[in-house]
């Protein structure tokens, strides 16, 4: 018997080869999106509004937004989720991870190709992930690939051909350098993706990933963190907790490896971060 779920997943499987890199997107949202803070929902909601704007307003055929925040705060996963939820016929991810070993000119060609492909679709979203790595930014001597930067500058402001619409979602952990590079003026909007900075949010993550077998165990772990000075949810300003969800999830998986003293090992790892 075929039920609705089967039907929907079958639809997922037959996405037009033309333009959606389903697997690539799925890969960067591997651990899903945990709604640990109101900020997460606000970011997704804002993203959705831009998606709707590009879909419905004829006056804005090109909209570009920047998701920035500390390393591991979830920028790539959020950008990919917003893109995926758009259900546009063309969704592509430009990621430095897929360009390892590319020469400068190969990068320029690959990036340019994604954009020219996008111009063939009535509605497109292109996620340009980790700008600083795409341009090979090196803090030492402030070096970078000028060819890739110039390519991005041109493509970020080029209007798609008539009747075509494009949403660009870029991500970066180095917001300040974008200004020096002349990139920040190209964005219509910027959104900060904050790290997890209070115990309440941490608790939501712990609950979601079911690290502890019971609520009692979870609360004991949280008390341990509180006593260790990681701040309480009531007093966010004094909280020393600052951790990207990506790092937190990896610490949790590490703590999960052994059933003994999970709370202690979690607290130890979190505190070992120098918070
Ligand atoms: P980097 O600075 O290294 O580029 P990042 O900020 O891009 O890191 P991601 O690569 O997006 O971070 O990693 C976030 C991870 O956390 C993903 O595996 C994602 O599935 C998971 N995750 C869980 N909840 C959330 C959330 N609310 N927002 C973003 N990512 C989340
Ligand atoms: Mg990233």
Q: What is the ipTM of this complex?
A: 0.99
Spell out the alpha helix ranges (H) of the chain: 4-13, 22-28, 38-56, 75-86, 104-118, 131-134, 146-157, 175-180, 199-209, 215-225, 245-256, 262-271
The residues, ordered by sequence, that sit 6+ positions from 220 with a Cβ below 8 Å of its Cβ are 263
Residues, CB within 5 angstroms of ligand 2 (ion): 76
Does ligand 1 lie within 6 Å of residue 95's CB atom? Answer: no
pLDDT value of position 275 = 47
* Shortest-distance Cα residue to atom 18 of ligand 1: 31
Closest CA to 170 of 110, 128, 126: 128
What is the spatial distance between Cα 216 and Cα 207, in angstroms, rounded to a whole number?
11
Return the ligand number nearest the Cα of 248: 1
Residue 237 in this model has a pLDDT that exceeds 70: no
Q: Which residue has the tokens 């006056």?
A: 59
Q: Is 246 in the pocket of ligand 1 (CB under 6 A)?
A: yes
pLDDT at residue 116, as a whole number: 97
- Work out the average pLDDT over 239-248: 87
* Per-residue pLDDT at 191 exceeds 50: yes
Minimal-distance CA residue to ligand 1 atom 20 = 31
Q: Which structure tokens are listed for 53?
A: 């704007």
Tell me the pLDDT tens digit for each residue of 5-50: 776 666 555 554 468 888 899 999 989 999 999 999 999 999 999 9
Four-CA torsion 63, 64, 69, 71, nearest 10 degrees: 130
Is the pLDDT confidence value at 238 over 50? Answer: no
Q: What is the mean pLDDT of residues 118-124?
A: 96
Q: How many CB atoms lie within 10 A of CB 261?
A: 11
Gap from CA of 30 to ligand 1 centroid (Å)? 9
The reported pLDDT for the residue numbered 1 is 67
Q: Which of 246, 250, 251 to mutate to test the pocket of ligand 1 (most atoms within 8 A of CB)?
A: 246
Q: Could you count the other beta carbons within 10 Å of the beta carbon of residue 91?
A: 26
The answer to whether the CB of 24 falls within 8 A of the CB of 72 is no
Give the predicted TM-score (pTM) of the model: 0.90
Ligand 1 atom showing the smallest separation from residue 71 Cα:
2
Compute, in angstroms, the gap from residue 78 CA to the centroid of ligand 1: 7
Q: What is the mean pLDDT of the chain?
A: 90
Cα(1) to centroid(ligand 1), Å? 37
Average of pLDDT values for 260-272? 84
- pLDDT at 162 exceeding the cut of 90: yes
Q: Per-residue pLDDT tens for 52-94?
A: 999 998 889 999 999 999 999 999 999 999 999 999 999 999 9
pLDDT at 224 (0 to 100): 87
Q: What b-and-e string marks burial along 189-198, b requiring 16 or more CB atoms within 10 Å of the CB?
A: eebebbbbbb
Ligand 1 atom closest to the Cα of residue 30 is: 20
CA distances from 233 to 52, 222, 225, 239 (A): 35, 10, 11, 8
Confidence of residue 183 (pLDDT cuts 50, 70, 90): very high
Tell me what pLDDT residue 231 has: 66
CB-ligand 1 contact for 201 (6 Å cutoff): no
How far, in Å, is the centroid of ligand 1 from the Cα of 164?
30
Q: Report the SS3 class of residue 237.
A: helix
Alpha carbon of residue 141 to chain centroid: 28
User: Whose Cα sits closest to atom 21 in ligand 1?
Assistant: 31
């Amino acid at each position: 018997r075929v039920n609705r779920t089967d039907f929907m997943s079958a639809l997922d499987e037959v996405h037009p080869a033309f333009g959606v890199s389903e697997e690539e997107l799925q890969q960067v949202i591997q651990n899903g999106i945990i709604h640990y803070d109101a900020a997460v929902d606000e970011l997704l909601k804002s993203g959705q509004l831009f998606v709707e704007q590009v879909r419905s307003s004829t006056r804005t055929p090109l909209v570009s937004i920047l998701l920035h925040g500390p390393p591991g705060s979830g920028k790539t996963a959020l950008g990919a989720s917003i893109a995926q939820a758009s259900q546009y016929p063309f969704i592509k991810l430009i990621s430095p991870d897929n360009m390892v070993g590319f020469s400068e000119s190969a990068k320029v060609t690959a990036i340019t190709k994604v954009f020219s492909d996008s111009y063939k679709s009535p509605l497109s979203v292109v996620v340009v992930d980790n700008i600083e790595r795409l341009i090979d930014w090196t803090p030492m001597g402030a070096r970078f690939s000028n060819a890739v930067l110039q390519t991005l500058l041109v493509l970020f402001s080029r209007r798609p051909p008539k009747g075509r619409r494009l949403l660009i979602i870029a991500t970066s952990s180095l917001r300040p350098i974008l200004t020096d590079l002349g990139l920040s003026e190209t964005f219509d909007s910027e959104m900060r993706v904050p790290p997890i900075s209070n115990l309440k949010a941490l608790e939501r993550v712990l609950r979601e990933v079911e690290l502890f077998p019971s609520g009692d165990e979870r609360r004991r772990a949280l008390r341990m963190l509180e006593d260790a000075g990681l701040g309480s949810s009531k007093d966010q300003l004094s909280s020393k907790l600052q951790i990207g969800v990506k790092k937190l999830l990896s610490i949790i998986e590490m703590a999960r490896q052994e059933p003994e003293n999970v709370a202690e090992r979690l607290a130890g790892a979190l505190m070992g971060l120098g918070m």
